[in-house]
Amino acid sequence: MANLGFVGLGVMGGEMVNRLLGKGHAVTGYNRTRSKAEWLVQKGMKWADSPRAVVAAADVTFSMVTHSAALGMIAEGPDGMLAALTPGKILVDMSTVSPAFSRSIAAKVREKGADMVDAPVSGSVITLQEGKLSVMVGGRRETFERVKALLYDIGPKVTYVGDSGLALVMKIATNLSLAVQMLAFSEGILLAEKSGITREVAVDVLTHSAVASPMIQYRGPFVLQMPKEAWFDVNMMQKDMLLALELGRQLDVPMPTTAVSNEFLTAARGMGWVEKDFAAVFDVLAQMSGVHK
C-alpha cells in the first residue's frame, strides 16, 4: 500500500482515485469544488484543503487538471504543491499541457530535491473504467521506475517515452488524430446518408470496418445520439489541437489535417457547442451539408 496524493478530481482524476483506492492505496485528495469529490471521501479518500496539504501528506502526488494555467495555479503560490515539496517526494502530473511549461515546473520541483514526471493518458473515462487506459511517461528513468507499479494500477499499458515533456509531445501527437479521424468519419457518414443510406446503417458499417479504430468504435455512435455529458468536450479538444499546431510551427512539421479539423472545432464553438463532446464536428459538417437530425 502506497501513501498517495491526488490533486484534480474531475471525471478522469476521480475515476483514477477510485481505482487507486480499489488497489488498497491510501489517497489524500483535493479538488477546487469539494462536492465533486464527496463520493471519493465516502469510499475512503482523505480530504485536504489545498494542493500543498495533499503533497505534505503524501509520498507520491498525482495531478490532473485542464490546461497549463490550471497546472500553474495548483503548483505555485503559498498553497501550491511546490510549497510542500521535500527531498524524495515525487509529483506525477497527468494533465495535458504545454511540454515547455511542464518542463519549467519540473525544474522547480528538482530545485526542492524532489522529482516530477509527466504522465498523460490516452483514453476516455469509459476506457479507464474498463481498465484499458494507456499511460505515457516522460522524465528521469529512475523516477519512472519508482512510480511504474502505481501507474499500472491505473492502466494496463505504461510506456516510458523519454525526457521531461516528451510524454506530453506523444499525447499531443495522439490527440490530434482523434479530431482528424472524427472529421473523416463524419464525411463518410454524410456521403452515405445523402446518397440514401440511413445514418444508422452507415454508422454500423463504418464502426465494423477497417477504419474502426477504438475511438471510432466508442465515439462513432455519437452521430446518432450525443451523450448528455461530454467525454471530451470541444474546448478541451481544441486546446490540444492548438498545442499540436504550436509544436508543428516550432518543429517545421506541416499539419494540414490538424489545421482543418481545428477550424471545425472553432465552428462548433461559434455554434454554441463548446460544452458538447468534440464529436460535434459531425453536426457542423452536417449543417454545412444541409443535413439535420
Q: Give the active site residue among 89, 112, 148, 171.
A: 171
Among candidates 104, 105, 24, 23, which has minimal Cα distance to 63? 105
Is residue 146 a contact partner of residue 140, using CB atoms and an 8 Å limit? Answer: no
Please tell me the total number of residues recorded for the chain in this structure: 293
CA distances from 90 to 47, 50, 56, 59, 110 (A): 19, 17, 11, 7, 10
Encode 5-30: b = buried (16+ Cβ within 10 Å), e = exposed: bbbbbbbbbbbbbbbbbeeebbbbbb
Dist. CA 126–CA 131, nearest whole Å: 9
The neighbouring-strand residues paired with 60 are 4, 90
Among candidates 1, 6, 52, which has minimal Cα distance to 24? 1
Give backbone dihedrals phi and psi of 76, rounded to 5 degrees, phi first.
-105, 170
Asked about 276 being catalytic, the answer comes back as no
The rounded Cα 106 to chain-centroid distance in angstroms is: 19
Active site residues: 171
